[in-house]
Amino acid sequence: MIVKARAPLRLGLAGGGTDVSPYCDVHGGAVLNATIDRYAYAVIKTLNEPVIRFKATDRETELEININDDLSDFPEHCLHIAVYKEMVEKYNDGERVALELNTNVDAPVGSGLGSSSTLVVVMIRAFVELFNAPLDDYDIAQLAFKIERQDCGLQGGRQDQFAATFGGFNYMEFYADNRSIINP
């Protein structure tokens, strides 16, 4: 089986920084952003051999491991592994799947366009299709935030994940307890 997904990168127009805890938890955050015609892509191909293969073609990196090996010793592939582990655990009853996950992002990490968050969103979207997981756009954005910010420890706010998930031109509100309102 082959599954493909795409998610847009974003430009922050106003309010950047108000989506970061603890500010938004105390005062509420308000952000205006728009997605652009640059994207992150993910392709999942299930395999008949007992391996898990992660390829980041834009970064020219690849990791191939046995399906039964420990997945914790590969920090350079933290986002790929964290998404894989989360989706397999929650939506495939913890049963690992032999697959190749190939990703590509049209902008480098650190570009200010939300590339790492968009990468997480697009991988989740591909796994949602693969596992037929019952996640809506809010669920996908919240899960992407959890994986990137909490599981992998990358710093940042919430607008990137929501922009990549919802797309378009949006006014976003962020509050305590991970409450978010997206106004297209």
CA distance 47 to 158: 34
Judged by DSSP in three states, 45 sits in strand
Structure tokens at 8: 């847009």
Q: Can you spell out the DSSP letters for 134-152?
A: ---HHHHHHHHHIIIIIIS
Active site residue 160: yes
Q: In sequence order, which residues have a C-beta less than 8 Å from that of residue 73 and are 6 or more positions away?
A: none
Spatial separation of the C-alpha atoms in residues 148 and 32, rounded to whole Å:
21
Residue type, 30: A
User: 136, 139, 160, 177: which is the annotated catalytic residue?
Assistant: 160
Both structure tokens of 4: 């493909």
CA distance 57 to 112: 20
Instruction: Look up residue 111 and give its two tokens.
Output: 């570009």
Q: Which two tokens stand for residue 55?
A: 């390829």
Residues annotated as part of the active site? 160
